[in-house]
Amino acid sequence: MLGDNDTVMNKTFKLAISAVLGAAMVTPAFAQRDNFPDVKDTHWAFEAVNRLKKEGIITGYPDGTFKGKQFITRYELATLLYAIYTNLKNVTDGLDAQVKALDAKVNGMSTNTGGGDSKTVDTSDLKRAIESTQKEVSAMKAWGSDINTLKKMADSYQKELTSMGVDVEAMKKSLSDLDKRVSALENKKPAITITGDANFLVTAVSKGSRTDGSVNQDGKWQGSNTNAAGVDTLRVNHELGLQINSADNKVHGEIVANSLLGGFPNQSQVRSNFGSSYNEGPTNVFINSLYVNHDDSLAGLAFSSKIGRQGMKLNPWVMSRLDNNSFYSNSRQDNGEFMVDGISAALKFGGSANLHLFIGRTSTQSGTVGGALQPITIGSEQGIAAANLLPISRVGGANLQFGLLGGNFNAAFVNYDADGNNGAGANRLEVTGIDGTFKLLGLDVAAGYGKSVWKSGTSSVLDTDNTRTNLGVSYATGALGLGVNYSNVEAAYLAPGDWGRTGIFRNLTNLKTTGANLSYKMNDKFNLFGNASRGEAVTGTGKVDSSTFGFNYKLNSAWDLTTSFETTEFKEGFGTIANSTYKFTTFGFGYNMGANSMFNLAYQVTDHTNVLGGNPNGGFIAAQFTVKF
Question: In CATH, what number is assigned to the domain containing residue 547?
Answer: 2.40.160.10
327 and 319 Cβ atoms separated by less than 8 Å: no
| Lowest-confidence pick of 81-95, 186-200, 227-241, 308-322 | 81-95
Same domain, 183 and 196: no
pLDDT number for residue 21:
38
In a shared domain, residues 200 and 139:
no
Q: Are strands 459-462 and 480-489 parallel, antiparallel or unpaired?
A: unpaired
Count of alpha carbons within 13 angstroms of residue 607, beta-carbon side:
6
The DSSP bridge partners found for residue 437 are 408, 446
Residue 188's pLDDT band (boundaries 50, 70, 90)?
low
Dihedral of alpha carbons 329, 330, 335, 341, sign: negative
Say whether 295 sits in a helix, a strand or coil.
strand
For the cut 80, the answer to whether the pLDDT of residue 36 exceeds it is no
Q: How confident is the model at residue 189 (pLDDT cuts 50, 70, 90)?
A: low
pLDDT tens digits, one per residue of 114-131:
444 444 445 566 666 666
Q: Give yes or no for a contact between 512 and 491, defined as CB atoms under 8 angstroms apart.
A: no
pLDDT tens digits, one per residue of 573-601 = 998 888 999 999 999 999 988 878 999 99
pLDDT at position 9 over 50: no
Question: Rounded mean pLDDT of the chain?
Answer: 81
Does residue 491 contact residue 483 with C-beta atoms inside 8 Å?
A: no
In this structure, of 216-225, 388-397, 452-461, 559-568, the range with the lowest mean pLDDT score is 216-225
Do 114 and 157 belong to one domain? yes
Of 258-267, 380-389, 544-553, the poorest mean pLDDT is in 258-267
User: Is 232 inside any structural domain?
Assistant: yes
DSSP designation for 387: G
Residues 141 and 409: their CA atoms lie apart, in Å, by 46
Does the predicted TM-score (pTM) go above 0.75? no
Angstrom distances, CA of residue 585 to CA of 80, 189, 351, 582, 588: 70, 49, 46, 10, 10
Q: What pLDDT, in 10s, does the model give residues 483-520?
A: 999 999 999 999 999 999 999 999 999 999 999 999 99
**Is residue 39 included in any domain, yes or no?**
no
Same domain, 425 and 296: yes
- In the predicted structure, residue 443 carries a pLDDT above the cut 90: yes
Alpha carbons 205 and 622: distance in angstroms, whole number: 9
> What CA dihedral angle connects 141, 144, 146 and 147, to 10 degrees?
110
326 and 367 share one domain: yes
- 210 and 166: one domain? no
Q: Is the pLDDT of residue 435 over 90?
A: yes
Do residues 92 and 13 make contact, with C-beta atoms less than 8 angstroms apart? Answer: no
Beta bridge partners of 611: 614
pLDDT in tens, 47-68: 655 666 666 666 777 776 766 6
Distance, first Cα to last Cα, the chain? 36
Cβ distance 376 to 395 under 8 Å?
Answer: yes
CB atoms within 10 A of CB 241: 19
Report DSSP state, residue 614.
B
> Looking at residues 322-335, what average pLDDT do you find?
89
CB 610 within 8 A of CB 592: no
Model pLDDT for residues 268-307, shown as the tens digit of each residue: 677 777 777 777 778 889 999 999 999 887 777 888 999 9
The pLDDT, as a whole number, for residue 143 is: 63
Among 148, 143, 53, 127, which residue's Cα sits nearest to residue 92? 143
- Three-state SS at 164: coil
At position 415, the amino acid (one-letter code) is N
Q: Is 217 a domain residue? A: yes
Flag whether 361 is in a domain. yes
Q: Is the pLDDT of residue 164 over 90?
A: no
Least confident of 96-100, 381-385, 588-592: 96-100
Asked if 215 and 174 sit in the same domain, the reply is no
Per-residue b or e along 134-162, where b marks 16 or more CB atoms closer than 10 Å to that residue's CB: eebeebbeebeebbeebbebbeebbebbe
Residue 27 has pLDDT above 60, yes or no: no
b (16+ CB within 10 A) / e for 361-400: ebbebebeeeebbbbbbbbbbbbbeeebbbbbbbbbbebb
pLDDT tier at 24, thresholds 50, 70, 90: very low
Q: 52 lies in a domain?
A: no
354 vs 345: CA distance, rounded Å:
10
Sign for the CA dihedral angle at 104, 105, 109, 111 comes to positive
Same domain, 361 and 240: yes
Rounded-to-integer distance, Cα 611 and Cα 219, Å = 10
Backbone angles phi, psi at 475, to 5 degrees: -145, 135
pLDDT of 10 over the 50 cut: no
Torsion of CA 148, 153, 159, 163, to 10 degrees: -90
Residues 355 and 209 in one domain: yes
364 inside domain: yes
Q: Which one of 187, 210, 239 terminates a domain?
A: 187
Which of 158, 187, 216 represents a domain boundary (last residue)?
A: 187
Residues 131 and 276 in one domain: no
Separation between Cα atoms, residue 374 and residue 308, nearest integer Å: 16
Q: Is the pLDDT of residue 481 over 90?
A: yes
The pLDDT-based confidence of 354 (bands split at 50, 70, 90) is very high
User: Does 585 lie in the same domain as 561?
Assistant: yes
Give the chain's domain count: 2
User: Which residue blocks in 109-157 are alpha helix, DSSP H?
Assistant: 123-140, 144-156
> How many Cβ atoms from other residues are within 10 Å of residue 551's Cβ?
15
Asked, for residue 59, whether it belongs to a domain, the answer is no
Q: Among 180-194, 414-428, 556-570, which is the least confidently predicted range?
A: 180-194
Task: For the chain, give percent helix, strand, coil, nearest 5.
Answer: 20, 40, 40
Report how far residue 85's alpha carbon sits from residue 170's, in angstroms, rounded to the nearest whole number.
Answer: 12
413 strand-pairing partners: 398, 432
Dump strand ranges (E) for 218-373: 231-246, 251-258, 284-298, 301-312, 338-350, 353-361
Q: Using the 8-state DSSP alphabet, how is residue 319 labeled?
A: S
| 473 has pLDDT over 80 | yes
- Mean pLDDT over 152-179 rounds to 78
Range of the domain at 557: 192-383+392-628
134, 161, 187 — which closes off a domain?
A: 187
For residues 179 and 443, the model is more confident at: 443
Same domain, 282 and 179: no
Q: Do the domain assignments include residue 65?
A: no
Higher pLDDT, 223 or 577: 577
Residue 533 has pLDDT above 50, yes or no: yes
Alpha helices of 318-429 — where are they, by DSSP H? Answer: 331-334
Higher pLDDT, 83 or 259: 259
Express each pLDDT in 298-313 by its tens digit: 777 888 999 999 999 9
Instruction: Name the pLDDT band for 107 (thresholds 50, 70, 90).
Output: low
Instruction: Provide the pLDDT for residue 67.
Output: 67
Whether the per-residue pLDDT at 4 is higher than 60: the answer is: no
Chain CA centroid to CA 218, Å: 24
Lowest average pLDDT, out of 13-22, 266-275, 421-430, 475-484, goes to: 13-22
Q: Give the number of other CB atoms < 10 A from CB of residue 102.
A: 16
Name the helix (H) or strand (E) containing 606: strand 597-606
Q: What letter would DSSP give residue 397?
A: E
d(CA 162, CA 169): 10
